[in-house]
Structure 1
Amino acid sequence: MASATDSPRNSPEPDRLTWSKRFSLTQRILAVNLFALIALAGGVFYLDSFRDRLLEQRQGQARVGAVMMADALSVAERRGLPGEFEALAARLGQSTGARIRIYREDGRLILDSWTRTGPTFRLRDPAQEPWRKDAARFLDKIIEFFGSAPRYDAYVEPVTDARAAWPEAEAAAGVGPHTAFAALRRAPDRTVIVNAAAPVAGTGDVLMVTLDTRDITRVVRSERLTFFLIFLGVLALSLLLSSFLARTIVRPLRRLSIAAQRVKLGRAREVTVPRFAKRRDEIGALGRAVADMTQALRHRMDATESFAADVAHEIKNPLASLRSAVDTLGAVKDPALQAQLLDVIRDDVLRIDRLITDIAEVSRLDAQLARTRFEPVDVGQMAATLVRIAERAGLPRGVKIAYARPEPGTAIATGDESRLSQVVRNLLDNAISFTPDNGVVLITVMRAGDKVMMRIDDDGPGIPAGMHEHIFKRFYSERPESESFGKHSGLGLAIAGAIVHAHDGSITALNREQDGVIAGARFVVTIPAAP
């Protein structure tokens, strides 16, 4: 109880997740799991940029190769052996997989390595290929569109092959040796073709090397397929995990929400709140906490209804007596009888006032204790002070109070001193009212282990059989015969019990016996001692 009251306020923490309020928990779980998929999908676009870098590298290699081939052919040309020149071009094209073409200074084609070796690569007609290739090319278009890939001109073999048909060859015709120009073009099947042109030194001729990059396209598509299969696997796993989390988190929370809504509407007296007894996680703890809270709320509602009925019953009796006395007063002429009726009216008004005061005290008790900060209280010193106050105010019928003091500083408890004082006063009033003339009320306070115990004994008739628990209920009306009716509201012991329980303590009532005969009642209060 003390820990619950230490907090100065119970204001909820503000909800800062304003941006996500419109999304359900299931959608958030799915979004978190899909985040990794989005990162994985980014790998596909990384492959696209990786392919562009490979093409740039291949283009640079083509430039270097064109310069080296031009130098080699220049040597062969200077030796004046045309057959060796053509054979060298064929061997170079065969070994590199390239197509080597040489154009004269006037732009005519004078040598094509494919005339001797045959095609070293083949341009495919998309109309002749299976649907899988069409799907691959369509995927290439989509990825290149979103990946902002560079756009290449179409690769088309001219009807008349001449240097003028190739801008890179034209550019190489007017420069010095060891310089090359290259261009990338896209074939109909979307394979990128690399053209590199370099001048042949000492002749005015231009050598052009043509390479395809089908190997790069094949590798990229293979890796892309691997990424796609991994993506599908991770997607399936993510959906399964999201479904599992939705079942284990969202569905229990939805059941708790429905049960809470039914409790709120109050259409059913008993609402079964799922407890999730087998779960040992936070959802299980939440379910059990909500079930316990609902049960406590139900008990409190029952107690409130019962308390309201008891209040109505207790106030109705003095009101009936008051009404009867007031109605009779107008018809009575005897002064003595009128004075008697006025005494009845006065007693009834005092009784109603006492009832209302005690009922208000009971109503405020729980709320006040919930806000109270518990502090160390010397119960021994507090009881001594209350005994002195009672003795100075005067004890009725010659009753005396005997106090067995504890060792100074030993009976220190943690609690609210004003409320604990109220417990002592109520128990003292109860003991004094039941103690016969010239009797003794004995108060004992002591430290017992980690508890502080207070015992109050009286010399009265004791507690009726079977009433040891009922006397702590509200409006319990068993009073001594010598006491005039209506002097107590029947709430004193109920208030004392509520205060003790709010301090995590206990209060019990029993009969004292002497030689087998009831010698009075004994009330025992125990509350936790201060550390």
Structure 2
Amino acid sequence: MAPDTASPMTADSKRPEGSIAEQEEAPLVWSARWSLTTRILAVNILAIILFGGGFFYLDTYRSRLIDTRMEVMGDQLAQLDEALEAARPDQRHHLIGEFTRATESRLRFYDAGGRKIDDSFAHAPPTYTLRDPELQPWKRDAARAMDRGIDWIVGAPAYPDFEEPRVDQGTAWPEVVEAMKTGEAASRFRYAPERTPLLSATRIVDLDTPEVMLMTLNARDITKTVRAERFRLAVVVAMVLIASVLLSLFLARTIVRPLRKLARAAVRVRLGRAREVVVPRLPSRRDEIGTLARALSDMTQALRERIDAGEHFAADVTHELKNPIASVRSAIEGLGRGTTDAQRAQLLAIADEDVRRLDRLVTDISDASRIDAQLSRTLFEPIDIGLMIESMLAGRAARAGQDGPRPRVAFARPRKGTTLVMGDGHRLERAIDNVIDNAISFSPQSGLVCIAATRLGDEVHIRVDDDGPGIDPAQREAIFRRFHSERPNGEAFGRHSGLGLAIARTIIEGHSGTISARDRDDGQRGASLLITLPAREGHEAEG
């Protein structure tokens, strides 16, 4: 048993070229297999990922801080160089100590051969200490791991790790070697063991002999600032991500769940396993999904009514065909038992009449079953109802002698061009002809059938009045049902199929019009059938 959400119809099902579905919407290729929930989540999470691009900005921000700090270190070394030149030799250590305490740095001096000749840490307590990460709590390890992860995501440069040289001499420091070769200041950025910036800058000083001054600084404040900003950004991104996921799930719930209900109901309707499948109408929804639900519900109801009508029609056809077939069968059986030529001739006449009745029934039944489908494919064109009725009545007048005595027909012809409608001329002529035939059949031979066509506002009214017995108010809707068999007294049985007015209503409604029965406006005895059709747009009635 197939699940009630599965359908054998697939996207690869054959459709005619140039179909509306192909013209209006191109197929989704990359996301064709994604559910709506997945798509909503993907779109919103992608937006959060783009928002998370702020981490790239923080990496640039850190680089700017480091570059600025190195520039400041260069300026500070220049100022110290000027101060050392102006100071007495006995003030040198005091000046260096004050400088390193103020800048929290370390100063070393190397001669031209690379030998260390002075170190600020040798004359005063260290201004910074490189911390051993093995002795720090796990939170610091986690912070460093996050730093490495973010650096990998943003593609930060891989800076080298810092290690104190085992033999402290100028050749162990690349920036010192570079300064000695070029005679210009040089700087470097390294990571201390605890992954904080270790910045170094050099300057050539010319006291008694040329020396290279090396300034190193453990800029923990840069790491602290960047980590604080990253934490704030991460908190914001996490909050927005949670809110986005929750809102996405809510949006998916309000969209996907009703669509699934509609899909299940549609599949049950298709499978036909439940006679009365309730398609949810979602009356509280005023959006496109609510409109879709109500449209599907109305479509299902219309489909059910059409199926019921087809079943009733088949039953009515079976019933109507049984009588003439039984009569023909009886006449044929009687032929074998007939003893005189007169009896056999009578039976043959009955059989012939029944065959004609069957032919009339089959023709009308065929027309009644095809009209809906044919009208849906027909291209409507402008039709002048007045000219159409006039032409129909001229044809009837030419056949008047062949049909025997008939009631007179009077037509109040409208002004030319005032009763224009859009429609199928052949079908409209058939509908009006059926109505006129009905009026003539109920009118006495000396009676009068009055026909009028007028333009009233945006509608064209066609009224057919007869001199017959009239229509009981309780039967005014029933006369338009198929195979309605209430006929005037004295009419030969089987002359009419009972489909004439039913076919007329189908045609009129296929033209967005109406047909109804009522009493005559002049109060005389008889019935009046009124047909209303939409007038052709852009054509007003003439004065």
> CA offset at residue 251 of structure 1?
0.9
Does residue 42 of structure 2 align to residue 31 of structure 1? yes
Cα contact 1:192–1:213 (8 A) shared by 2 = yes
**1:155 aligns with one of 162, 171, 175:** 162
Structure 1 residue aligned with 2:340: 334
Who is 2:20 aligned against? 11
**For 1:263-299, what per-residue CA distance to the aligned partner results, in whole angstroms no more than 9, with x for missing partners?**
1111111111111112211111111111111111111
Separation in 2, partners of 1:457, 1:443: 7
Change (3 A) 1:497 1:175: closer
Comparing 165-174 and 135-144, the one that deviates more: 165-174
Q: What secondary structure is seen at the aligned counterpart in 2 of 1:466?
A: helix
The corresponding residue for 1:6 is none
Partner residue of 2:534? 528
Map 1:49-448 → 2, pairs under 5 A: 49-70=60-81, 72-73=83-84, 75-76=85-86, 81-176=88-183, 179-201=184-206, 203-394=209-400, 395-448=403-456
**What residue number does 2:6 align with?**
none
Secondary structure (helix, strand or coil) at the match of 2:114 reads coil
> Structure 1 residue 514: deviation in Å?
8.7
Q: Indicate if the aligned counterparts of 2:185 and 2:202 stay in contact, CA closer than 8 A.
A: yes
Structure 1 residues 16, 398: closer, same or farther in 2, change over 3 A?
Answer: closer
Counterpart of 2:516?
508
Q: 2: CA distance between counterparts of 1:347 and 1:427? A: 24
User: For 1:292-322, what per-residue CA distance to the aligned partner results, in whole angstroms no more than 9, with x for missing partners?
Assistant: 1111111111111111111111112222222
Query: In 2 relative to 1, CA 249–514 (structure 1 residues): closer, same or farther, beyond 3 Å?
Result: closer
Report the 3-state secondary structure (helix = DSSP H, G, I; strand = E; otherwise coil) of the residue aligned with 1:154. Answer: coil
In structure 1, what is the Cα distance between the partners aligned to 2:397 and 2:110? 132
Q: Check whether the contact 1:504–1:527 (CA below 8 A) recurs between aligned residues.
A: yes
Which residue identity is paired with 1:289?
A: A
3-state DSSP of counterpart to 2:405: helix
Counterparts of 1:514 and 1:502, CA distance in 2? 30
The question of whether the paired residues in 2 share the 8 Å contact of 1:66 and 1:180 is answered with no
The alpha-carbon deviation at position 210 of structure 1 amounts to: 0.5
Q: Is this contact kept in 1: 2:55–2:154, CA < 8 A?
A: no
User: Which segment drifts farther, 417-426 or 459-468?
Assistant: 459-468
Task: Give me the whole-angstrom Cα distance separating, in 1, the residues matched to 2:531 and 2:251.
Answer: 50
Structure 2 CA distance, aligned partners of 1:111 and 1:398? Answer: 138
CA 1:154 to 1:10, structure 2 compared with 1: closer, same or farther past 3 Å?
Answer: closer
Q: Residue 65 of structure 1: CA displacement? A: 4.1
SS at 1:231 equivalent: helix
Partner residue, 2:55: 44
Counterpart of 1:439, as a letter, is G
Number of positions where the alignment pairs a residue of Structure 1 with one of Structure 2:
515
C-alpha contact (below 8 Å) 1:86/1:111 kept by paired residues? no
- Show CA shifts across 1:164-222 (max 9, x none): 3212223323443xx11222221110012112222222513211010222222111111
More contact order relative to length (CA 8 Å, sep ≥ 6): 1
SS at match of 1:527: strand
Q: Using the alignment, how far apart are the partners of 2:62 and 2:396 within structure 1? A: 98
* Structure 2 segments unaligned to the other structure (5+ residues): 1-17, 538-543
Q: Percent identity?
A: 48
How far apart are the structure 2 equivalents of 1:100 and 1:419? 107
Q: Which runs of 4+ in 1 moved over 4 A?
A: 511-515
SS where residue 482 of structure 1 aligns? coil
Question: C-alpha distance in 2, partners of 1:215/1:402?
Answer: 108
Q: Is the 8 A contact 1:67 1:180 kept in 2?
A: no
- Unmatched 5+ residue regions in structure 1? 1-8
- Render the CA deviation track for 1:309-353: whole Å, top value 9, x for unaligned: 111111122222222222333443533322222222222222222
The secondary structure found in structure 2 opposite 1:508 is strand
Deviation at 1:97, TM superposition (A): 2.6
Query: Is the 2:386–2:413 Cα contact (8 Å) retained in structure 1?
Result: yes
Contact 1:175 1:199 in 2 (8 A): no
TM norm structure 2: 0.89
- Provide the rounded CA distance (Å) in 1 between the counterparts of 2:522 and 2:72: 116
| Structure 1 contact 37–234 (Cα < 8 Å) conserved | yes
CA shift at 1:460, angstroms? 2.0
Greater mean deviation of Cα atoms: 337-346 or 257-266: 337-346
Q: Go from structure 1 to structure 2 and tell me whether the alpha carbon gap of 1:10 and 1:401 turns closer, same or farther (over 3 Å shift).
A: farther
Whether contact under 8 Å (1:173, 1:204) holds in the other structure is: no
Q: Structure 1: how far apart are the matches of 2:457 and 2:83?
A: 106
How well do the aligned residues superpose, as a CA RMSD in angstroms? Answer: 2.3
TM-score w.r.t. length of structure 1: 0.91
Return closer, same or farther for 1:289/1:483 CA change in 2, 3 Å cut-off. Answer: same
1:138 offset after TM fit, Å? 0.6
Q: Secondary structure at the match of 1:336?
A: helix
Using the TM superposition, name which of 150-159 and 137-146 deviates more.
150-159
2: CA distance, partners of 1:254 / 1:440: 62
